[in-house]
């Protein structure tokens, strides 16, 4: 049994870590889940400037992704609809209506130049074997911007989940520029569906936001929804409005959906109802307003980590500097290698060193002759000298190239290489300024791309209070009670107790001193001659003192109990008095007087006595009552 338990524990931990790292949670470095990374890698491999069938891309991606097309196709469509890294052609669905994309064989895509700028650098990418060992795939892309904030992501793993809201790409890059230059920055979500967002509880990506639809109420008899709150579609919004109308929460005449490439949902008001007075009800009872909880969980250095938006920006600012430094250093090394070879080629051809190999009969003799020919020019060549690989390169130069060798053209090329090396040296000395310039270049590319709206913010940031349903709904439902039969509810023929709303909870104190809090009933039995029935409003009840006068079941002595009903469990019965005690009176007045009449007995001279309720302290619900007299009470005489 111990062996089996250990086996299960180990397998579960391996499965959990796999789901967390390789399925559901994005990596901080490139902001991608594994399936997204493999899709982009496939598109980089297939890239020839033309569009590819999504079905073909999916098939190629299956070489790297072991979970099949069922997970690849939706991920590709979702990534393409972000409109940043994949160009689309065909029907990729409708973000507003929630309509699905066409079948993969009918739609096409290709990787964008922006994706290449941000992700693609095979020389700096760490590679690993694919799941079957036949191919190589990137462990992580060396991403130059915080993609995880730009795209947003949602994922559920084992024991943890992440929900990162999308942010405006230009604002993210501007925040990174500010971070590089030691300036303060603020970053808030921006949604592709527009609408409004209250970020007062955002807490750097680990709190919550309140989102709202954009409503046009210029017509008093019609409301137009022109922008959607994040996470909703026109279909879900319309369904929520229909449900609210059926339940009597809002009064409308009809609803029409005219959405195409822009959202336009028309809500016609019922007779006697106007737009302005319906707004709060829409926010309270439909998807026009929603609260979204967020959790910025990413994989950082191979482990799950909760971060803030500012932490991510700071991390990527440092990462950008490192990546650009590596790129410049790599380019400089490659240019120095190229310059070295061009110098050798020029000397080899200009000084006719190749003539020295004509009489050589062995490979070693040829190599030695070439190296010896360069000895007078070692100062010009530099410290690197001439190695065997250099000799092999020179001996592979075609005769045609030697005969057509253009000295001036070669010198011009070497001057350009030297100029670029010098420029790289300057960039390395001023790497922060170079990084800033790079980000500004990306911003310019995004702004020039008309398909993504030139990067303009779509969601308006503001501050607004959440509309509470209880506060919006009208209290126009009659709560009735029949004291003779003991039935209470909205579907009872009796005396009207109060006008309530469907959201109200009802407190009843029955004849025996038992109290219960329940949802608004249609018809329920609470017993005849109930002492108190009202709305269970915690704020109001916290200020209400209940005074209960009862007599003990054994000796008939009178007691008084003053208490406040502050908490309860729904539909649970509680007793205000001891079991079997007879309740004579319950009152909610803070101050009042009452008279008790005692049962006549021998030598009992005082048969009536007056008391003031306010003379007795308010005690807890579970506390016993205070005895008023050691006499058997016969009757409560009232105030």
List the catalytic residues.
106
- Phi and psi for 412 in degrees, rounded to 5? -60, -40
Return all residues near 448 (Cβ < 8 A) that are at least 6 apart: 454
The residue whose two tokens read 């065909």 is: 90
Q: Where are the beta strands (DSSP E) in 514-618?
A: 514-519, 524-525, 532-535, 546-551, 558-563, 574-575, 582-587, 593-598, 608-612
Token code pair at residue 331: 């380019």
Return d(Cα 636, Cα 3) in angstroms, integer. Answer: 75
Helix ranges, 200-288 (H):
234-246, 279-285
Residues 45 and 38: their CA atoms lie apart, in Å, by 10
Residue with tokens 């592979």: 396
By residue count, the chain amounts to 639
Distance of alpha carbon 234 from alpha carbon 265, whole angstroms: 8
Query: What is the C-alpha separation between 316 and 146, in angstroms, rounded?
Result: 6
Angle between helices 69-80 and 54-61 (to 10 degrees): 130
User: Residue 145: which of 180, 111, 110 has the closest Cα?
Assistant: 180
Q: Are 509 and 530 in contact (CB under 8 A)?
A: yes
Judge contact between 618 and 590, C-beta under 8 A: no
- The set of residues, in sequence order, having a beta carbon less than 8 Å from that of 185 and lying 6+ positions away, is 174, 175, 178, 179, 310, 313
User: Is 89 in contact with 51 (CB distance < 8 Å)?
Assistant: yes
Q: Which two tokens stand for residue 444?
A: 């310019």
CA dist., res. 342 & res. 354, Å (int): 15
- The answer for residues whose C-beta is within 8 angstroms of residue 261's C-beta and 6 or more apart is none
Choose among 588, 527, 597, 528: nearest CA to 556.
597
Q: What is the DSSP letter of 268?
A: E
Q: Are 576 and 514 in contact (CB under 8 A)?
A: yes
Give the separation between CA 96 and CA 146, rounded to whole angstroms.
26
Q: Are 312 and 149 in contact (CB under 8 A)?
A: yes
Quote the DSSP letter at residue 92. Answer: -
The neighbour count for residue 540, using CB atoms within 10 Å, is 10
Cα 520 from Cα 523, distance rounded (Å) = 9
Element (H, E) at 252: strand 252-257
Residue 356: name the closest of 341, 379, 376 by CA.
376
The helix (H) or strand (E) run that includes residue 477 is: strand 477-482
At 152, list the tokens: 């947003």
Q: How far apart are CA 373 and CA 355, in angstroms?
A: 9
């Amino acid at each position: 049994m111990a062996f089996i338990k250990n086996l299960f524990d180990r397998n579960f931990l391996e499965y959990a870590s796999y789901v967390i790292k390789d399925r559901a949670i994005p990596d901080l470095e490139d902001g991608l889940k594994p399936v997204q990374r493999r899709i982009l890698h496939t598109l980089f491999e297939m890239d020839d400037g033309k569009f590819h069938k999504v079905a073909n891309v999916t098939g190629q991606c299956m070489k790297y992704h072991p979970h099949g097309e069922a997970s690849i196709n939706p991920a590709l469509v979702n990534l393409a609809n972000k409109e940043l890294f994949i160009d689309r052609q065909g029907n990729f669905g409708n973000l507003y209506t929630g309509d699905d994309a066409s079948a993969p064989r009918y739609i096409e895509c290709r990787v964008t130049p922006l994706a290449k700028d941000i992700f693609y650098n095979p020389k700096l990418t760490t590679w690993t074997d694919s799941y079957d060992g036949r191919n190589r795939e990137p462990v992580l892309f060396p991403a130059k911007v915080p993609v995880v904030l730009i795209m947003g992501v949602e994922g559920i793993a084992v024991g943890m989940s992440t929900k990162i809201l999308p942010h405006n790409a230009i604002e993210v890059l501007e925040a990174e520029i500010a971070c590089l230059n030691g300036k303060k920055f603020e970053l808030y979500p921006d949604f592709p569906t527009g609408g409004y967002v209250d970020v007062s509880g955002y807490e750097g990506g680990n709190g919550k936001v309140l989102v709202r639809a954009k409503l046009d109420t210029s017509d008093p008899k019609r409301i137009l929804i022109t922008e959607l709150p994040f996470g909703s579609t026109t279909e879900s919004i319309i369904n929520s409005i229909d449900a609210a109308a059926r339940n009597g929460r809002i009064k409308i005449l009809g609803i029409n959906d005219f959405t195409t490439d822009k959202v336009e949902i028309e809500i016609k008001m019922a007779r006697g109802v106007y737009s302005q007075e319906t707004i709060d009800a829409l926010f309270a009872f439909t998807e026009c307003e929603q609260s979204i909880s967020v959790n910025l969980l990413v994989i950082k250095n191979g482990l799950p980590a909760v971060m803030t938006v500012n932490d991510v920006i700071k991390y990527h600012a440092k990462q950008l500097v490192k990546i650009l430094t590596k790129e410049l250093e790599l380019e400089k090394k490659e240019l120095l290698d190229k310059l070295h070879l061009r110098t050798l080629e020029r000397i080899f051809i200009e000084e006719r060193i190749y003539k020295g190999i004509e009489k050589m009969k062995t490979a070693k003799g040829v190599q030695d002759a070439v190296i010896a020919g360069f000895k007078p020019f070692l100062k010009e060549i530099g410290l690197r000298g001439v190695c065997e690989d250099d000799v092999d390169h020179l001996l592979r130069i075609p005769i045609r190239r030697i005969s057509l060798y253009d000295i001036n053209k070669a010198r011009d090329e070497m001057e350009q290489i030297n100029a670029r090396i010098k420029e790289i040296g300057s960039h390395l000395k001023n790497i922060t300024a170079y990084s800033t310039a790079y980000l500004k270049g990306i911003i310019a590319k995004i702004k020039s791309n008309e398909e993504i709206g030139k990067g303009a913010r779509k969601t308006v940031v503001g501050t607004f209070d959440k509309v509470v349903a209880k506060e919006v709904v009208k209290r126009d439902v009659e709560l009735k009670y029949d004291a003779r039969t003991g039935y209470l509810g909205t579907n009872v023929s009796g005396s009207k107790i109060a006008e309530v709303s469907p959201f109200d909870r009802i407190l009843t104190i029955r004849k025996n001193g038992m109290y219960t809090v329940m949802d608004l009933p249609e018809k329920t039995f609470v017993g005849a001659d109930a002492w108190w029935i009202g709305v269970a409003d915690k704020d109001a009840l916290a200020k209400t003192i209940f005074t209960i006068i009862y007599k003990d079941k054994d000796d008939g002595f009178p007691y008084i109990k003053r208490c406040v009903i502050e908490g309860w469990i729904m539909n649970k019965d509680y007793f205000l008095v001891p079991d079997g005690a007879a309740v004579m009176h319950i009152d909610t007045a803070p101050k009042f007087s009452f008279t008790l009449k005692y049962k006549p007995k021998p030598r009992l001279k005082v048969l009536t006595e007056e008391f003031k309720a306010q003379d007795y302290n308010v005690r807890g619900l579970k506390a016993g009552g205070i005895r008023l007299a050691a006499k058997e009470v016969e009757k409560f005489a009232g105030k």
